[in-house]
Amino acid sequence: MCGIVGYIGNRESQPILLEGLKKLEYRGYDSAGIAVFTEQGLEITKTVGRLANLEGRLSGDPLRGTVGIGHTRWATHGKPSDVNSHPHTDNTLKFSVVHNGIIENYLELKEELMHKGHRFLSETDTEVISHLIAVEYEGDIVKAVQRAVSKMRGAFALGVLTEYEPDKLVAVRYASPLIIGVGEGEKYIASDIPAILEHTRDIYILNDGEMAVLTRDSVQLMTIEGNLISKEMFHVDWDLMTAEKGGFDHFMLKEIHEQPKAYRDTMRGRMSEDGRSVVLPELKMTPDMLRGFKRVHIVACGTAMHAGLVGKTVIEQLARVPVETDVASEYRYRSPIITPDTLVIVVSQSGETADTLAALREAQRCGARVLAITNVVGSSVAREADDVIITLAGPEIAVASTKAYTSQLIAFYLFGLYWAQANGTKNEAEIAHILAAMESLPEQVEKILAQAEVLKGVAESISRHSSLFFIGRGIDYAVALEGSLKLKEISYIHSEAYAAGELKHGTLALIEEGVPVIALMTQEELYEKMLSNIKETKARGAHVLGIINEGSEGETAKSVDRQFAIPRTLPILTPALSVVPLQLLSYYASLALGHDVDKPRNLAKSVTVE
Ligand code: M6R
């Protein structure tokens, strides 16, 4: 995810900006840059690649000045490149902007500006912001920023400088985090606390819709409409490691809690304004081409593969096109039948998984069109696929995938609905109904997260067992597979996921007194069947935790030992909620056993060997 740092004070800003950006390196980035007021005016140096590249460029030609902004970019609009890196400027070179987030209507704004004669150098949404501010400038940078922001839709944390008012640094927050650091005769902005922790522990945390005007000696806080506000200063007493994890004990827990934001970011700009259709402007394939595909292969590894299993149900139910799923390491060795009307979908958080990449190449060699769902713009998978849907989960650091998985689910829902629109298998009202339910998901995840303590207790008891089972039917079975993988991966407890109806064909022999069984029971039409399967396990002494829908507690209580209710949503959307308690169970079980949650044994975040 992108990182922002800004400084206004009496010291040289370049080293402060570079050090600040280094403190954000752990979040991942693909390019970096800084803008500083020098004697020559507002000067920018930026480059693709590591911060060391930027330092290399600056070492021969440093930017000297006491006011500046810096940025590390995690590409979303446009590939990682020098020109797409931040800070961006306008055609007069008098304004400079760093930005985290996404401007949904940037293409519209860009077109308007181009009609007025503006020339754009990059493919980014951010460059539009600097042009917009320049257009709105009538001698007051604060007002210009407010007017520009009022025209933008989406998410943005901004740091803005103009050569016309060199003693001001303007900061804005809307759905993308930003903090203000307060020091003696100097002020800072940052996307995250670690960037400025070395200089100050006194900060203001901006809320959505708020902005700040910083001078060396003052911080003026206001809403983006210009109403002055006051807020309490927050004194940070975290150490650097805790600050990197946003106050959480582990990256995994932080990433689990980031899921509501990841859902919102992945959905942002992909629903029409009236909420009645899906828009995926990034797809090069036309609706006509989409209608031409008669079958789908979804290929991926591990957790991404489990997202693919949900994707299978989603595409089949919504677009009514048959889907096969394969683990990537098997796909190309089984001579898959790939016809011109086969669409191959590869799913990969990193976009660098060797097996997935090999499967993608094999599919293309056989003449298939490949759509990639990936979290990393500019990754090998993103570059080589014919079409790409980027998930906007932000960098995932813990080895155990959480927010990347759930963002992949969101991508499948959007794509499935898009295809249903093209095929006419769902009408506008049905699509609007599903989209409305999707918009509630972030808040519903927040409700689940608020009950984390309950799951902690359950996890502690699970951690005393050497083996357990996850069962489910239909789409719940796909989630059971992911719950089981998560538990194995970080707690090292043996577990198996079973289609509940399949237990009696062999595995039931393993159920004995006290064996924990986690039963996913969110699919109403399969509920009765699940109850029968649960009874089979209870009769052999299993201790059952039911993951159920809110409102069915009374009924289910008769059949299970414990239950955890998730908020109600449409049956097809339940995986986006039911996986969250399973992620928390794994996390707390690993914690109870004293394992290295973020770096489990024998595993790597990105598996680049076959
Ligand atoms: O980067 P990818 O999504 O391609 O990675 C695929 C798997 O290696 C990955 O999902 C793995 O299973 C996770 N560590 C599970 O949490």
Cα dihedral 529/533/534/539 (nearest 10): 140
What pLDDT score was predicted for residue 234? Answer: 87
| H or E element, residue 387 | strand 387-390
What pLDDT score was predicted for residue 310? Answer: 98
Most ligand 1 atoms within 8 A of CB, residue of 326, 329, 350 to mutate: 350
Tell which wins on pLDDT, 147 or 77.
147
Cα of 393 from ligand 1 centre, angstroms: 14
User: What is the 3 state secondary structure string of 410-442?
Assistant: HHHHHHHHHHHHHHCCCCHHHHHHHHHHHHHHH
Cα of 67 from ligand 1 centre, angstroms: 42
- Count other C-beta atoms under 10 Å from residue 54's C-beta: 24
Over the stretch 410-455, which tens digit does the pLDDT of each residue have? Answer: 999 999 999 999 999 999 999 999 999 999 999 999 999 999 999 9
Report which ligand 1 atom has the smallest distance to the Cα of 306: 10
Report which ligand 1 atom has the smallest distance to the Cα of 353: 4
Task: Report d(CA 212, CA 395) in Å as an integer.
Answer: 27
CATH 3.40.50.10490 in the chain is located at 244-439, 452-592
Q: Is the pLDDT of residue 239 over 90?
A: no
Most ligand 1 atoms within 8 A of CB, residue of 299, 349, 492, 587 to mutate: 349
Task: Report d(CA 222, CA 311) in Å as an integer.
Answer: 44
Q: Is the pLDDT of residue 610 over 70?
A: no
Tell me which residue has its CA closest to atom 10 in ligand 1.
303
Q: Is the pLDDT of residue 237 over 90?
A: no
Q: How confident is the model at residue 113 (pLDDT cuts 50, 70, 90)?
A: very high
Place of tokens 């996307």: 191
Contact 70, 46 (CB under 8 A): no
C-alpha pair distances (Å), 500 with each of 199, 444, 473, 541: 56, 26, 6, 16
Cα of 271 from ligand 1 centre, angstroms: 28
Q: Is the pLDDT of residue 137 over 90?
A: yes
| H or E element, residue 189 | strand 186-190
| Phi and psi at residue 297, to the nearest 5° | -115, 125
Q: How confident is the model at residue 1 (pLDDT cuts 50, 70, 90)?
A: low
| H or E element, residue 103 | strand 95-103
Cα of 418 from ligand 1 centre, angstroms: 26
Tokens representing 578?
A: 């039911």
Q: Is 598 in the pocket of ligand 1 (CB under 6 A)?
A: no
Rounded to a whole number, what is the distance in angstroms from the first to the last CA of the chain?
A: 28
228 CB burial (10 A radius; 0-12, 13-18, 19+): exposed
What pLDDT score was predicted for residue 604? Answer: 79
Cα of 524 from ligand 1 centre, angstroms: 30
CATH 3.60.20.10 in the chain is located at 2-241
What pLDDT score was predicted for residue 606? Answer: 74
Cα of 495 from ligand 1 centre, angstroms: 18
Least confidently predicted of 24-38, 228-242, 390-404, 558-572? 228-242
164 CB burial (10 A radius; 0-12, 13-18, 19+): middle
Most ligand 1 atoms within 8 A of CB, residue of 306, 360, 401, 598 to mutate: 401
Q: Is 348 in the pocket of ligand 1 (CB under 6 A)?
A: yes
| H or E element, residue 591 | helix 575-592
Could you tell me which CATH number the domain at 2-241 has? 3.60.20.10
What pLDDT score was predicted for residue 153? Answer: 92
Cα of 376 from ligand 1 centre, angstroms: 13
Cα of 353 from ligand 1 centre, angstroms: 8
356 CB burial (10 A radius; 0-12, 13-18, 19+): buried
Q: Is 400 in the pocket of ligand 1 (CB under 6 A)?
A: yes
What pLDDT score was predicted for residue 400? Answer: 96
Q: Is 350 in the pocket of ligand 1 (CB under 6 A)?
A: yes
Q: Is 402 in the pocket of ligand 1 (CB under 6 A)?
A: no
Q: Is 356 in the pocket of ligand 1 (CB under 6 A)?
A: yes
Could you tell me which CATH number the domain at 452-592 has? 3.40.50.10490
Place of tokens 């990059």: 122
Q: Is 277 in the pocket of ligand 1 (CB under 6 A)?
A: no
Whether residue 605 lies in the annotated active site: yes
Q: What is the mean pLDDT of residues 51-77?
A: 93
Cα of 289 from ligand 1 centre, angstroms: 30
Report which ligand 1 atom has the smallest distance to the Cα of 349: 3
If we measure between CA atoms, which residue out of 392, 105, 142 comes closest to residue 272?
Answer: 105
Cα of 580 from ligand 1 centre, angstroms: 17
If we measure between CA atoms, which residue out of 571, 391, 405 comes closest to residue 483?
Answer: 405
Over the stretch 344-391, which tens digit does the pLDDT of each residue have? Answer: 999 999 999 989 999 999 999 999 999 999 998 878 899 899 999 999
Q: Is the pLDDT of residue 163 over 80?
A: yes
> Among residues 151, 456, 488, 605, which one is catalytic?
605
Contact 258, 401 (CB under 8 A): no
Report which ligand 1 atom has the smallest distance to the Cα of 302: 12
Task: Report d(CA 5, CA 34) in Å as an integer.
Answer: 9
Place of tokens 């719940």: 476
Tell me which residue has its CA closest to atom 11 in ligand 1.
302
Helix (H, G, I), strand (E, B) or coil at 575: helix
Contact 191, 173 (CB under 8 A): no
Residue 472 exposure: Cα atoms within 13 Å on the Cβ side = 30
Q: How confident is the model at residue 2 (pLDDT cuts 50, 70, 90)?
A: confident
> Among residues 2, 168, 254, 486, which one is catalytic?
2
What pLDDT score was predicted for residue 68? Answer: 98
If we measure between CA atoms, which residue out of 262, 150, 271 comes closest to residue 211?
Answer: 150
Task: Report d(CA 453, CA 533) in Å as an integer.
Answer: 28
- Count other C-beta atoms under 10 Å from residue 596's C-beta: 11
Over the stretch 489-508, which tens digit does the pLDDT of each residue have? Answer: 999 999 999 999 999 999 88
Q: Is the pLDDT of residue 120 over 90?
A: yes
pTM of the model: 0.81
Q: Is 304 in the pocket of ligand 1 (CB under 6 A)?
A: yes
Contact 545, 537 (CB under 8 A): no
The superfamily (CATH) of domain 244-439 is: Glucose-6-phosphate isomerase like protein; domain 1 (3.40.50.10490)
Compute the Cα dihedral for 473, 475, 481, 482 and give only its sign.
Answer: negative
Q: Is 338 in the pocket of ligand 1 (CB under 6 A)?
A: no
Place of tokens 């005769």: 185
Supply the mean pLDDT for the chain. Answer: 94
Q: Is 280 in the pocket of ligand 1 (CB under 6 A)?
A: no
Over the stretch 249-305, which tens digit does the pLDDT of each residue have? Answer: 999 999 999 999 999 999 999 999 999 999 999 999 999 999 999 999 999 999 999
Q: How confident is the model at residue 102 (pLDDT cuts 50, 70, 90)?
A: confident
Q: Is 600 in the pocket of ligand 1 (CB under 6 A)?
A: no
If we measure between CA atoms, which residue out of 263, 602, 252 comes closest to residue 438?
Answer: 263
Q: What is the mean pLDDT of residues 39-49?
A: 95
Compute the Cα dihedral for 272, 277, 279, 280 and give only its sign.
Answer: positive
Most ligand 1 atoms within 8 A of CB, residue of 607, 608, 610 to mutate: 607
User: What is the 3 state secondary structure string of 443-475?
Assistant: HHHHHHHCCHHHHHHHHHHHCCCCEEEEEECCH
